[in-house]
A and B are shown apart, each in its own frame.
Chain A
Amino acid sequence: MCLSPWLPKPVCLSANSALHSPFPFQLGGLQGFRVKLAPVDYLILAIYFGFVLGIGWRLKRSVSSSGDFLTSGRSVPVWITSLAFLAANLGAQEVIGMSASGAKYGIMTAHFYWIGAVPAMLFVGIFMMPFYYGSRARSVPEFLKLRFDEKTRGLNAITFAVMTVFSSGVSMYALGLLLQLVLGWSFTASVLLSAAIVLVYTLLGGLTSAIYNEVLQFFLIVLGFTPLAILAVTKAGGWSGMQARLPEVMTHSWHNLSSASQNPMGVDAFGLVAGLGFTLSFGYWCTNFLVVQRAMAADSMSAARRTPLIAAFPKMAMPFIVILPGIAALVLAKMNVGYVLPMKGNTYDYDQVFTTLMAQFYPSGMLGVGLTALMASFMSGMAGNVTAFNTVWTYDIYQSYIKKNAPDEHYLKVGRMTTIVGTGLSIATAYVAQHYNNIMDILQLVFGFVNAPLLATFLLGMFWRRTTGHGAFTGLATGTSVAALTLSLTVAEGKGGWITSLHEFPSTMAQNFYIALLAFVSCFVVTVVVSLFTKPRPPEELRGLVYSLTKFPEETGVSWYRKPAPVAVLVIAMLLALNFWFR
């Protein structure tokens, strides 16, 4: 996360998630695993902390207005915004969760990238960024105000602000617990130290500092984790060796999707494509300010449009770094080469697969790099949440409802104060999560649906000029209520069904996909109906905000790789090739 709350998440968040292995063979288990770090590992961690704080310090002088602090003054080069676009989403939960999911579900997990992210990234770059960037809105809620009205902005701003603080806290809790389990570090010390470092560099250099550090963190994640993927997969006999040793369902992403009972994920092709590939994924990547903010910080419209497109290339490759080691771990456990799957009680603890592999493939030195990369992934995710939160709070809540027309220095001060308060609230959430695990689990599930109805609002708002503010607001409220209601009336893996159980899904993932679909459809229908009965805004007020009333920027006289459309075609070709290869 932020995290995308619907992504596979570490089991430490929920006792129910540690399911029994779906595999027909028996594997050994490792209990009470601990990693010991050498002084050189701590030295590497200290050097990393020094650099991220140093970057914040150097960028301090470039912050002189609230715009510099909260929106980077729209001055960041495209290669930086692209990698930050990706890194802000690449939290520690994703690395751990995806690796765990790889061990549990196999290569099907790659759908979260190839179907559940890349197509939406292309769509936001090609079709939506011209509206976001061209409207000069400073945030996604502010765009909603320009396109619809104040109440729609208010609803989105408040929901988003609560969601970011919550996500950041849950992510912090997951990291604190992981470091406690794996390294024996104090939960409080881990949480406070990492939060303090993110706070200091964000406070010093604002969004620019967060974005710059996200890029450094991205490189560290790639360079720190790639050797592990190569070592684990090679030891497991390469892809062909892994295919030979695993059940067919673990090494094919499309073969077993004709019915939910044929695969360990418990989803069918329709649920996957419509639920994950469309509503959840487009809802997240196209409307979540956390990621959109990175593209909006770019130095030109062309750069803003290319930001998600360029980010799509490394996004496509991420499964090789985070998912393949998880699958390789299963093979290694079967090969009796000295690796055993970690256990928690009498169930497999897939969340510790990544760290146990790291501890057994990396000697001191690279072990420090790997753990630093894990910390970096947490920090990039947390900084993403904090910077999105302070912008939305300062501009969309404070400036809109609490104190209008104050001098800019005042909003700069409020932005800085909000950064401190937001971090404090995240820390508090992490502690609440520690004590009230089930409530956090439910909240995370509910927040997973916030973006699904929002997608319907945006699609209608941008592509149908008749959509009205009343329609958008009513649709959003209905979509979110329908999501919560569906969750209360259906059950999956013992979750949901708080009112009664009208239907049981084969897995929580299938439940998530279908709830998102229902939320999207209900929001779409209600928005259309209410819009037809309410008065639309005149066309002259909608120029630059609606597709049919906006002239898209033409890229002439530049190389093909600087034009969004050819880059998108290249991404699609690579995406098709990957899906075909791992079909």
Chain B
Amino acid sequence: MLDLRTPTGWFFSILGVILLGLGVFAPGHASLTTLNVNLYSGLPILAFGCVMLFLSRSRS
């Protein structure tokens, strides 16, 4: 059966890359914060995606 970690890993890796890309190349912030939210949120999301992919690969 499908190893759920594979699509989960891909989904969050893609999401993380999009957010990191926005954070680096189009840094912007919302009205209530001056932080680069896309950059700081993108990093853990990308890391989570990579961990999931690593786990699915190491099992297979």
How extensive is the interface on chain B, given as a class?
Answer: 20 to 34
Closest to B23 in A: A365
Once the chains bind, are B33 and A231 in contact (CB under 8 Å)?
yes
CB distance from B11 to the nearest CB of A (A): 5
Given contacts A55-B2, A80-B4, A223-B45, contact A363 B12 (CB under 8 A): no
Q: How far is the CA of A227 from the CA of B44 in the complex (A)?
A: 10
Residues of B within 8 A of A364 (CB): 22, 28
Given contacts A359-B30, A360-B30, contact A231 B8 (CB under 8 A): no
Please state if B30 and A219 are interface contacts (CB–CB under 8 Å): no
Given contacts A223-B44, A231-B33, A362-B37, contact A216 B8 (CB under 8 A): yes
Interface residues of B in 32-54 (CB under 8 A from A): 32-33, 35, 37-38, 40-42, 44-45, 48
Task: Say whether A231 contacts B37, CB under 8 Å.
Answer: yes
A55 to B7: give the CA distance in the assembly, Å. 7
0/1 string, B19-33, CB within 8 A of A gives 1: 100110000111111
The answer to whether the Cβ of A347 comes within 8 Å of any Cβ in the partner chain is: no
Contacts of A367 on B, CB cut-off 8 Å? 30
| Among A40, A338, A360, contact of B22 (Cβ-Cβ < 8 Å) | A40
Residue in chain A with minimal CB distance to B11:
A51
**Of residues 338 to 356 in A, which have CB atoms within 8 Å of B's CB atoms?**
338-339
Contact, CB under 8 Å: A363 / B29: yes
Q: Is A414 an interface residue (CB 8 A)?
A: no
Which of B1, B28, B31, B44 sits near A338, CB closer than 8 Å?
A: B31
Chain A residues positioned under 8 Å from B31 (CB to CB): 338, 360
Tell me, rounded to whole Å, the shortest Cβ–Cβ distance linking B42 to chain A: 8
On whether A369 and B4 interact (CB within 8 A), knowing A51-B11, A216-B11, A364-B22, the answer reads no
Question: Are B38 and A43 closer than 8 Å at their CB atoms?
Answer: no
A506 is an interface residue with CB less than 8 A from chain B: no
Q: For the complex, what is the distance from the CA of A361 to the CA of B21, rounded to whole Å?
A: 19
Q: How far is the CB of A35 from chain B (nearest CB, A)?
A: 11
Give chain A's interface residue range (CB within 8 Å of chain B): 35 or more
Q: Check A365 against B18 for contact (C-beta < 8 Å).
A: yes
Contact B30 A361 (CB under 8 A): yes
Asked if residues A44 and B35 are in contact (CB atoms below 8 Å), the reply is no
Contact across chains for B11 and A339 when beta carbons are under 8 A apart: no
B-chain residues with CB within 8 Å of residue A51 when the two chains form the complex: 7, 10-11
- State which residues 360-387 of A face B: CB under 8 Å: 360-367, 369
A-chain residues with CB within 8 Å of residue B37 when the two chains form the complex: 227, 231, 361-363, 365-366
User: Once bound together, how far apart are the Cα atoms of A40 and B55, in whole Å?
Assistant: 29
A223 touches B33 (CB 8 A): no
Asked if A332 is at the interface of the complex by the 8 Å CB criterion, the answer is yes
**Beta-carbon contact of A44 and B18 below 8 Å:** yes
| A573 contacts B by Cβ under 8 Å | no
Closest to A232 in B: B32
Given that A55-B7, A223-B45 are known contacts, is A365 also in contact with B22, CB under 8 Å in the complex? yes
Q: What is the distance, in angstroms, from A34's C-beta to the closest C-beta of chain B? A: 14
Residues of chain A at the chain B interface (Cβ within 8 Å): 40, 43-44, 47-48, 51, 54-55, 58-59, 62, 75, 80, 208, 212, 215-216, 219, 223, 227, 231, 235, 332, 337-339, 357, 359-367, 369
* Smallest CB-CB A-B distances: 9 pairs: A365-B22, A365-B38, A360-B32, A227-B41, A363-B28, A51-B11, A363-B30, A58-B2, A360-B31
**Interface CB pairs A-B, < 8 A, 29:** A44-B15, A47-B14, A51-B7, A54-B7, A55-B7, A58-B2, A208-B1, A212-B2, A216-B11, A223-B12, A227-B37, A231-B32, A231-B33, A231-B35, A337-B32, A338-B31, A359-B30, A361-B30, A361-B33, A361-B37, A362-B30, A363-B22, A363-B29, A363-B38, A365-B19, A365-B37, A366-B19, A366-B37, A366-B38
